[in-house]
Amino acid sequence: MPPAKYKVTYIEDSGKAHTVEVAEGWSLMEGAVKHLIPGIDADCGGACACATCQVYVAPEWQAKLPPKSDMEETMLDFAPDVKPASRLSCQLRMGAELDGIVLHLPKTQHA
């Protein structure tokens, strides 16, 4: 049985929005790459080793996310334009509870 898919809206820095479906279990970084969303570089391919997949999570969705790991927290210290809403999208897994999540993308992933 193919995995369930849920909606994610990625909004580029320019304001251009892309609403796509991402399979359960995939990371929100992979969802962006799969759908050619510009603005997520993901150099390391999801190993939480590069901090180039930063997203800003819309306030109403933040509480639904798991807390940041030590690794993610530190990686984020090195990403450009970090805000309280910042997360690394490679660390966020798609699931029913995130159906409809809205993510804003930074201007650049490289400081």
Partner 1 sequence: MAESIVIIGAGQAGIQAVESLRKEGFTGAITMVGDEAYPPYQRPPLSKAYLLGSFERPRLFLKADAYYAEAGCELILNTSAKAIHRAERGVELSNGRTLAYDKLLLTTGARVRKLKCPGAELAGVHYLKTIADVDGLQAVFQSGKRIAIVGGGYIGLEVAAVGAKRGLDVTVFEAMDRLMARAVSPALSDFYAREHQKAGVKLKLNTGVEAFEGNGKVERVIAGGQAYEADIVLVGIGVIPCQELAEAAGLICTDGIMVDQNARTGDPHIWSAGDCTRHTGREGHEIRLECVQNAIDQAKHAALSMMDKHKTYSEVPWFWSDQYDLKLQIAGLARPSDRLVLRGDPAARKFAAFHLRDGAVAAVEAVNAAPEYMIGKKLVADGKKIAAETLADLSIPMKQMA
Binding site for partner 1 (CB under 8 A): 26, 30, 33-36, 43-45, 47-49, 69-71, 73-75, 77-78
DSSP assignment, residue 18?
E
- Show the beta-strand stretches assigned E in 1-111: 5-11, 17-23, 54-57, 86-88, 101-104
**63 vs 67 by CB, closer to partner 1:** 67
Task: Show the tokens assigned to 85.
Answer: 């809403």
Smallest distance from the beta carbon of 36 to partner 1, in angstroms?
6
**27 vs 61 by CB, closer to partner 1:** 27
